Amino acid sequence: MKTRFLLFMIFVSSYGFSQSINDYRAVIIPLKYDFMKSDNQYRLATLTKLNLNKSGFEAFYANEVIPHDYNRCDLLYVDVIKENGFLITKLYVALKDCYGKVVFESQIGKSKVKEYDAAYAEALNEAFASITALRYKYNGKVATNTTGSVTAVATPVTSSTNAVVNSVVNNNDPNLLYAQPTETGYQLIDKTPKVVMKLMKTSRPDSFIAIKGDVQGSLNAKDNEWYFEYYQNDKLVSEKVSVKF
């Protein structure tokens, strides 16, 4: 009896996840995960896309041009996380919404193969088995506000400072960046979506170490607005940045 009840609860849980997964049109794949040293190392970005396509998802690499009718919150963002293991490779897959909230987390894929390429491929494929089992199919759901424009269906994460909470953000600003939480801070993406800047937390909630392309500086809150500051030719440059946390 207990076994049958447990199986029922697993089914209900999986059904609930699959329903929420079906709300999203496509998945964005980064070229590099946190534990990788270079883009598409061990062909993990390629294998991620193959597995997503196999599971029924439309998928785009982060550097691809996304169709203009896709709203960023219609999309999921995939992340592959590596767990520590002695003589064993362990990976699992997280699918996140536009605010960085985990929508679904896969089982842990494992491999005892010594060669890195083969080990990562085996572990990733095993992790994706639980995603394929969801039998994803987009249900056409799109949330709209009273003006008819597309809006996010998720609740924004809590901002890191009062400056973020009180700042006035123009949603029609073509240069508006959106903050997605990462393990070390945030990444700021534009509407395409493309990662424009990476932020790392400091001891101060109103200041981040910021990296934009080859330029490293800091992102600081001043008078309820954010500024990217860095040195160029020994002169301090301060650029206003429109950010939605």
Answer whether residue 79 shows pLDDT above 50.
Answer: yes
Answer whether residue 29 shows pLDDT above 70.
Answer: yes
| pLDDT value of residue 143 | 39
Domains annotated for the chain, with CATH where assigned, are 20-132 (3.40.50), 162-244 (no CATH)
pTM greater than the 0.85 cutoff: no
Between the CA atoms of 186, 180, 43 and 54, what dihedral angle is there, to the nearest 10 degrees?
A: 160
pLDDT 10s digits, 202-217: 877 788 889 999 899 9
